[in-house]
Homo-oligomer: A and B are copies of this chain.
Amino acid sequence: MDTALQSQRNRSYAIIGTGAIGGFYGAKLQQAGFEVHFLLHSDYQFVRQRGLRVDSVWGDFTLDSLNVYNDVHQMPPCDVVIVALKTTRNSLLTTLLPPVLKESGAVLMLQNGLGNEEAIAPIVGPAHILGGLCFICSNKVGDGHIHHLDYGTITLGEYAPDYQPLGITATLQDIAGDFEAAGIPIQFAEDLLLARWKKLIWNIPYNGLSVVLNARTDEIMKNEYTRLLSEQLMQEVGAVAAAYNRKIPESFIQKMLDHTAKMKPYITSMKLDYDHHRTLEIESIIGNPLQAAIAKQIPVPKIAMLYAQLNFINSQIQAK
């Protein structure tokens, strides 16, 4: 069922959203010799004139000459389109995706949370849809300037309707090969939905509580009450995943708790958005999992409360 993509090094990439994630991975691909086309917004003029600077724990580099665009209709159709927009802007994809995607191409959703692959399926026709979960600390620190602080592995899985597990497909292997050629560690998810729920086990409590309590992960874990609350939120996430036949063992939850308690102090992506007065990615990270719970009548009172609190905080950010 897999149609072969263009052979390696010949595949072209489009980056929709050249921020901390899209900018970093796109720059790594171009550095490795791939043809990459970047869609930019606020710093289009800056990058066009002065290039893209990447300070990275894997080695600093600067790209002086890039294919940059501020209009998707100027971009060539590409073999692989990487979507790295904030999910709060996903309504733009109806307009942004079709022009840059070859008919036999693939879309890779490098986004947080649940439901992003499903949402674009009606837009992209017969193209392959992949989901990528980025385990990375990377920030955009200024115009055309990305700071990659730690980690960087991507977990890749291919999407099928109703999130039927597809295993490790040829498309997955093709794209993984390109990323690995660019020095990016890849793990395969044979079941994309299971991978998404496993990441939500971490993302829901820590992204949510870090904003509501204005706290780092180490502070949340040091306090006995919020350590327990994190665990209870994880249990609720696990119960919803189980209702979709994705069983996440209790030992995974305990591993996440232990790991987070030992991790160096970490500021979650939602907390970074909060600190910079940016709209929070509430729907993809909390709202869609909450809707998934409601659809299966799984009680998740604490996720629901977190969702309400985050919406309150978000409305205050937007009122500023």
Chain A residues proximal to chain B, CB less than 8 Å: 209, 212-213, 215, 219-220, 223, 225-226, 228-229, 232, 301-302, 305-309, 311-313, 315-316
Closest CB pairs A-B (n = 3)? A301-B301, A225-B308, A225-B311
Which chain B residues lie closer than 8 Å to A219 at the CB level? 312, 316
Query: Is there an interface contact between B302 and A215, defined as CB atoms closer than 8 Å?
Result: no
Residue of B nearest to A299 (CB): B301
Most buried by B among A215, A225, A301: A225
**Please, which residue of chain B has its CB at the minimum distance from the CB of A223?**
B312
- Tell me the minimal C-beta distance from A312 to chain B in angstroms: 5
The reply to whether A213 and B312 contact each other, CB–CB distance below 8 Å, is yes
Enumerate chain B residues within 8 angstroms of A228, measured Cβ to Cβ.
Answer: 308
A306 — which chain B residues lie within 8 A by C-beta? 305
Closest to A315 in B: B223
Q: Cβ of A312: which chain B residues have Cβ within 8 Å of it?
A: 213, 215, 219-220, 223, 225-226
In the assembled complex, the Cα of A169 lies from the Cα of B9 at a distance in Å of: 90
Residues of B within 8 A of A229 (CB): 305, 308-309
- A232-B301, A301-B302 provided; 19 other pairs, C-beta below 8 A? A209-B309, A212-B212, A213-B309, A213-B312, A213-B313, A215-B316, A219-B316, A220-B312, A223-B311, A223-B312, A223-B315, A225-B309, A226-B308, A226-B309, A226-B311, A226-B312, A228-B308, A229-B305, A229-B309
Chain B residues in 8 Å Cβ range of A316: 215, 219
Chain B, Cβ-Cβ closest to A224? B311
The closest CB in chain B to the CB of A230 belongs to: B308
Query: Which residues of chain B come closer than 8 Å to A307, judged between CB atoms?
Result: 225
| A14 vs chain B, min Cβ distance (A) | 36
Bound form: Cα–Cα A309–B215 in Å:
11
A226 — which chain B residues lie within 8 A by C-beta? 308-309, 311-312
Residues of chain B within 8 A (CB-CB) of A309 are 209, 212-213, 225-226, 229
Residues of B within 8 A of A315 (CB): 223
Complex Cα distance A226/B314, Å?
A: 12
CA distance A213 to B219 in the complex (A): 18
Expressed in whole angstroms, the Cα–Cα distance for A315 and B301 within the complex equals 24
Jot down 27 A-B pairs with beta carbons below 8 A, ordered by A: A209-B309, A212-B213, A212-B309, A213-B312, A213-B313, A215-B312, A215-B316, A219-B312, A219-B316, A220-B312, A223-B311, A223-B315, A225-B308, A225-B309, A225-B311, A226-B309, A226-B311, A228-B308, A229-B305, A229-B308, A232-B305, A301-B301, A301-B302, A302-B302, A302-B305, A305-B305, A305-B306
Residues of B within 8 A of A223 (CB): 311-312, 315
Report the nearest B residue to A228, measured CB to CB: B308
